[in-house]
Amino acid sequence: MTDKNFMVDNSTRTDLFSPIKLGEIELANRIVMAPLTRGRMNEEGVPNDLNITYYIQRASAGLIISEATNISAQGRGYAKTPGIWTEDQIAGWKKITDAVHSASGKIVMQLWHVGRCSHVDLQPNGEAPVAPSAIKADGNSYTNNGIVEVSMPRALKIDEIPNIVEQYRHAAECAKRAGFDGVEIHSANNYLLEQFLRDSTNHRTDQYGGSIANRARLILEVVEAVTNVWGDGRVGIRLSPITTEVGNTPLDSNVMETYGYLIQQLNKFKLAYLHFVEGITGKSRSVPEGVDLNALRSLFDGAYIGNNNYDLEIAISRRAEGKVDAVAFGRPFISNPDLVDRLRYGIELAHASIETHYGNGEKGYIDWPKANSFHIESSCSKS
């Protein structure tokens, strides 16, 4: 199948295909591959040859953001997802980063702790998932026994929180050893860090709850720990101020004030970029009344990556208006490993059915063909 929503006149002028520098990371173009959970790892979370092929096929993206990667056994919320806390995981990822670099690509790792969005079958010793407060998510998890309702979490004790920060620090160090160009802190989609930030999921009364500053405290401690490992300009962060995914999670009671405070505090860390989910993740770009995402974006001093249901027309428009520095495409990269060329030369995109998104081995993972040279030459001749 093809998707004509991405078709534009290839005479359109845009700098989306020109180089850009995000912090200290130099990109060949402004097309970013968004993190895509694909469920193709083994139970130990160690990358394999299939994963190497998948990533090298997509190395023409200006930047690849890896699929969300668990920072610890406690951080897991879905079976067959990768990790970055063991020596075997480091070695597996090193093969991927070497392959991407050999193809002149750039890749950062997304660091992930799901918090309450997990199931006891995925947790060490069958323990309850951890969260800022003992509030159950409304959603499912994928285990080796199939799709199951998430488990009731337990609230983290105050003396356990430094270990959460240490998990992120250790994972950042492991990612550096694995040869990544940087890391992205996953503070979006209502996983652990965003669970601490929102007053809908954080009912604590200690120094990590209550005020906006207290609820933002863990995120800022994690960012400090990770940037201490990587230095300036090689750490990004992903935020999703108005998404209800995952877990059908309510928004914070004051989106603008809460996320505005956080973004201004992030500026002191000289991050490589801010990666924003503009709307409800994977569903809608609509914005609730009283929220101005452009105003939030303007508070950030560094580069901005826009994400969520972009097509090329939206990307060109928002880039021309100076509202994005780069654009992250997710699902189109699943079925179009050469997405950058297809967008650049106006070649129709293949469309992947949802059945191919998770699991299934090679099928729907590494068997998508690239556009041949005839397609590209024909498109160029028309420009």
Q: Model confidence over 6-52: pLDDT tens digits?
A: 444 444 689 999 999 999 999 999 999 999 999 999 999 999 999 99
Q: What's residue 371's pLDDT?
A: 86
Judged against a pLDDT cut of 50, whether residue 361 lies above it is answered with: yes
Residue-wise pLDDT for 149-173, tens only, equals: 999 999 999 999 999 999 999 999 9
Q: Give the Cα separation of 73 and 124 in Å (integer).
A: 7
Confirm if 235 and 223 have CB atoms less than 8 A apart: yes
From CA 220, how far away is CA 250, in angstroms rounded?
22
The pLDDT of residue 128 is: 98
pLDDT in tens, 2-19: 444 444 444 468 999 999
More confident residue, 379 or 215: 215
pTM of the predicted protein model = 0.94
Distance (Å, whole) CA 383 – CA 380:
5
Instruction: Give alpha helix (H) positions in the chain.
Output: 49-57, 87-102, 161-177, 192-197, 212-230, 255-266, 293-298, 312-320, 331-335, 339-345, 373-382
Above 50 in pLDDT, residue 214?
yes
Helix axes 255-266, 212-230, angle to 10 degrees: 30
Q: Assign 326 to helix, strand or coil.
A: strand
- 306 phi and psi, to 5 degrees? -85, 145
Average pLDDT, the chain: 94
Q: How far apart are CA 213 and CA 190, in angstroms?
A: 18
pLDDT attached to residue 3: 45
Greatest alpha-carbon pair distance for the chain in Å reads: 65
CA separation, residue 308 to residues 9, 33, 277, 312 (Å) = 22, 12, 6, 12
pLDDT for 11: 46
The torsion angles phi and psi of 217, rounded to 5 degrees, stand at -60, -45
What are the structural domains of the chain? 10-375 (3.20.20.70)
Residue partners of 125: CB distance under 8 A and separation at least 6: none
Half-sphere exposure of residue 352, counting CA atoms within 13 Å on the CB side?
21
Distances (CA, A) of 131 to 191, 194, 350: 9, 10, 39
What average pLDDT does range 109-134 have in this prediction?
98
Q: Look at residue 301 and give its three-state secondary structure.
A: coil
**Cα end-to-end span (Å), the chain:** 25
pLDDT over threshold 50, residue 1: no
pLDDT confidence of residue 373: 52
Candidates 142, 168, 191, 273; catalytic one = 191
**Residue 146 CB: number of other CB atoms within 10 A?**
9
Residue 378 has pLDDT above 90, yes or no: no
Q: Identify the three-state secondary structure at position 308.
A: coil
Residues 6+ apart with CB under 8 A from 294: 323
Active site residue 191: yes
pLDDT in tens, 273-291: 999 999 999 888 999 999 9
For 330-347, write each residue's pLDDT tens digit.
Answer: 999 999 999 999 999 999
pLDDT of 380 above 60:
no
pLDDT of residue 80: 96
Average pLDDT over residues 60-86: 98
Report the pLDDT value the prediction gives residue 50, as an integer from 0 to 100.
97
- Pair of tokens at residue 30: 């402004």
